[in-house]
Amino acid sequence: MDALRIAGLRHRYPAGRLALDGVDLAVARGERVAVLGPNGAGKTTLALHLNGLLEGEGEVEVAGLRLGRDTLRAVRERVGLVFQDPDDQLFMPTVREDVAFGPRNMGLDEDRAAARVAEALGAVRMAHAAGRAPHQLSMGERRRVAIATVLAMRPDLLVLDEPTANLDPRARRELAEVLDPLPATMLVVTHDLPFAAEMCDRAVVLAAGRIVADGPCREVLADRALLAAHDLELPCGFDLGLVATRPYAASAPSARRNAISTRVPGP
């Protein structure tokens, strides 16, 4: 069974703009897919559909569960959506309260919610910040806490919207080290093509609301004509041949040790 299956998804905003124009996509369990595309291609709109935050025509199925009004709650537990701006995601006065928000909404009691909080903050190496307020954290730390807020719900599918936006190189590397050991299926919506090359095995290019390319990440990124046709560009001097896919898996033993299990039997 696919972790995600999208068929004929169309979405038109009230102002009339067609943001998604028949998207078809299947993602296998454990796969990591980069969703690339220029501004306005419909990437964020697509991400919002996966959690039922937007409604359109077509079908979305997460781990065999078809998204509909009756399954909205269950789907939201299975899909962890990390927003582009962590200040949108972290709204509680302390990190601990924020990470506990999802598990509490799932109806977990306090002990189990606290265990989820400890587990999720450990996985993103932010356990020391549990009592701090989000505004006291750096952007990189906020991003990792934002990821913890959805990991605490043990999602099947992790959807990251521009995860490296506004991060300095060190925070970006720390983020990659945290994400790499996670076993969850991932959809990484990004402009950061080197990050896609490091993290993802497969890439799709979204343009004008349609998927125009789908293939192994390196092949897609090596197709200069394709990238140029859709306003995508690798950084100047960047050599794909020198990038190891998932370079952080081996270099971050602490991250692996803290790896969180997603959707395992138990609380």
Partner 1 sequence: MGGLGVHALDHAGTAGRPGSVVHRLDPRAKVVGLLGITLAAAVAPRGAWVVPAACLVALAGVAWWARVPATVVWRRARVVLPLVLLAAAVVPFVGGGPSVAVGPVHLSVEGLRTFGAVAAAATVGTLSAVLLTATTAFPDVLRALERLRVPRAFTLTCAFMYRYLFVLGEEVGRMRAALAARGFRPRTALGAAAVGRLATALFLRGHARGERVYLAMCARGFCGVMPAGAPGRLGRAEAGFLAALGALVVPVSVWAQVA
Q: What's the min distance (Å) between Cβ of 91 and partner 1? A: 5
Give the three-class secondary structure for 267: coil
CB closer to partner 1 out of 94 and 258: 94
Q: Where are the alpha helices (DSSP H) in the chain?
A: 43-50, 72-78, 86-89, 95-105, 110-123, 139-151, 169-179, 193-199, 217-222, 224-229, 248-251, 253-257
Between strands 4-12 and 57-62, the pairing is antiparallel
Helix (H), strand (E) at residue 60 = strand 57-62
Count of Cβ atoms closer than 10 Å to residue 87 Cβ: 12
Q: What's the min distance (Å) between Cβ of 235 and partner 1? A: 27
Q: Indicate if the alpha-carbon torsion angle 202, 206, 210, 213 is positive or negative.
A: negative
CB closer to partner 1 out of 93 and 253: 93
CB closer to partner 1 out of 135 and 236: 135
CA–CA gap between residue 41 and residue 18 (Å, rounded): 10
CB closer to partner 1 out of 25 and 95: 95
Q: What's the min distance (Å) between Cβ of 236 and partner 1? A: 28
CB closer to partner 1 out of 98 and 198: 98
CB closer to partner 1 out of 56 and 102: 102
Q: What's the min distance (Å) between Cβ of 38 and partner 1? A: 21
Q: What's the min distance (Å) between Cβ of 116 and partner 1? A: 12
Give the three-class secondary structure for 36: strand
Q: What's the min distance (Å) between Cβ of 251 and partner 1? A: 31
**Nearest alpha carbon to residue 44 among 83, 101, 6, 96:** 83
Q: Point out which residues bind partner 1 (CB under 8 A).
A: 48, 51, 53, 73, 76-77, 79, 81, 83, 85, 87-94, 97, 100-102, 104-106, 110, 114, 131, 133-136, 149-150, 153
